[in-house]
A and B are shown apart, each in its own frame.
Chain A
Amino acid sequence: MLEWARFLLCAALLAAGLFFLLTALLGVNRFRFVINRLHPAGIGDTLGLLLLSLAAVVYAGFDQVTVKILCIVTFFWITSPVCTHLIGRLVRETDKKQFEAEAKEWKS
């Protein structure tokens, strides 16, 4: 019974993580402007990775490896948003015309 619960939990986490990665993939390919593309890309790197790692933790059980996996997740949760922020700032500084046009379009 416990085994089944664990398996189902693992499968659910895996499916959810893959779903978020898939949305990231689709979003990056479908959107047309950098800032819009950053949004799904950020989701894939944070939420998708967290769910997949949790699935791995549930599948393998809690031991020393769990700590390592959590370290990786923490690292990604610190770095990935910073990356997204930097790319956004770079776009804003270098492509002012396009940026303002897009902003106007989204406001209206």
Chain B
Amino acid sequence: MSKQKRDAFSGLLNWLENGDDALSDQMQDTLSDDERAANVPLKKASAKKRKKKNADARRKKNENETAASWTDRWWYKLLAAALCVSLIALLLFAALRLPKFGGAETLIDSDLTRFYVEHTKVETGAMNIVTGIILDYRGFDTLGESHVLFIALCGVLLLLSIYGEKDEKLRLLADARDRNFEPKNDLILQCAARILTPIVFVFGVYIILNGHLSPGGGFSGGAVLGAGLILYQNAFGYKKIQRFFTYKTFRAVSVCALLFYSLAKGYHFFTGANHLESGIGTGTPGDILSGGLLLPLNIAVGCVVACTMYGLYTMFRKGEF
């Protein structure tokens, strides 16, 4: 074992025993050896002292828990209760005034709504009017939304990723942190995941593909797919999921999906920004292969959302796919 690795392991053990205080010690790699030798024992001592102090404070807090704080005043409780009751009353009142579900004429109260209800099915070929609106009439908005998701993930990648990390210690620490806090090889979870993951995946794909026919679409279906990926990863670990979903897959899928959407949208601007133009006809409304570009766009949005969901999860968990 090389010296560097041995150092890393000793630091790791130290961290496992002493918790996060030792981690800050680990981070001081910029110091020279002499400085570190002078610094570390001092730091350790201070860490121990700090720990003791924390424990003392905790004990004191437990003793003082019954003592009065400002949340125990009578007016605070009264105000909290009054706020809750008035909120509940407000929501119930609003729920009473909602239009009847499925009523034929309850929704049409403005020209815009009437236009959408009358024209969406003919012009976009979508049975689900909502999909017709968000992917055709307001496709630019949806494009921005998928980019917002992607940019959020980019920020998280910049801050938390351990790719290209030259320091072996940080990698090992991330590994140890992961191994320490997550239950590994949990039999109950694995049994449940074995039953549920296929169903979840199929259901997600169904929601995406059926987005222009029934309630659903790219966003909700993508969220279901991402949840399925997270479940699989949680139950079976990184090694199993890397057989079909790695950093490369993630990059390829999300970038391709976003590029496709952007190109389609750019073409639509180029042709006058009237509709989402495409060579594909609208087909018969109600068929699975209908609605022109709606189905491919739904698939693109679904891919982006699924990748982002899983990416956020795994970045916050370990910093690596």
Contacts and interface: CB of A to CB of B under 8 A. Distances in A.
Interface in A1-46: none
Contacts of B182: 90
B183 A89 contact: yes
Contacts of B192: 78-79, 82
B92 to A, nearest CB: 14
A89 B196 contact: no
A67 B188 CA distance: 26
A65 interface: no
A68 B84 CA distance: 33
Interface in A73-94: 75, 78-79, 82, 85-86, 89-90, 93-94
A93 B188 contact: no
Contact of A78 (B180, B181, B186, B195): B195
A86 B192 CA distance: 12
B262 to A, nearest CB: 36
Contacts of B181: 90, 93-94
Interface residues of B, number: 10
B196 A86 contact: no
Nearest to A78: B192
B189 interface: yes
Interface in A38-77: 75
Interface in B145-204: 180-183, 186, 188-189, 192, 195-196
A86 B230 CA distance: 15
A93 B196 contact: no
Nearest to B195: A78
Contacts of A85: 186, 188-189
Contact of B196 (A79, A90, A94): A79
B186 A89 contact: yes
Contacts of A93: 181, 183
Contacts of A82: 188-189, 192
Nearest to A85: B188
A79 B181 CA distance: 21
A78 B183 contact: no
A82 B194 CA distance: 13
Contacts of B196: 75, 78-79
A89 B189 CA distance: 11
B223 to A, nearest CB: 15
A90 to B, nearest CB: 6
A71 to B, nearest CB: 9
Contacts of A90: 181-183
B231 to A, nearest CB: 9
A37 to B, nearest CB: 17
Given A93-B183, A94-B181, A86 B195 contact: no
A52 to B, nearest CB: 16
Contacts of B180: 94
Nearest to B182: A90
Interface of A: 75, 78-79, 82, 85-86, 89-90, 93-94
Given A79-B192, A93-B181, 18 more contacts: A78-B192, A79-B196, A82-B188, A82-B189, A82-B192, A85-B186, A85-B188, A85-B189, A86-B183, A86-B186, A86-B189, A89-B186, A90-B181, A90-B182, A90-B183, A93-B183, A94-B180, A94-B181
10 contacts: A75-B196, A78-B195, A82-B189, A85-B188, A85-B189, A86-B183, A89-B183, A89-B186, A90-B181, A93-B183
Interface of B: 180-183, 186, 188-189, 192, 195-196
Nearest 5 A/B pairs, CB to CB: A82-B192, A89-B183, A85-B188, A78-B192, A82-B189
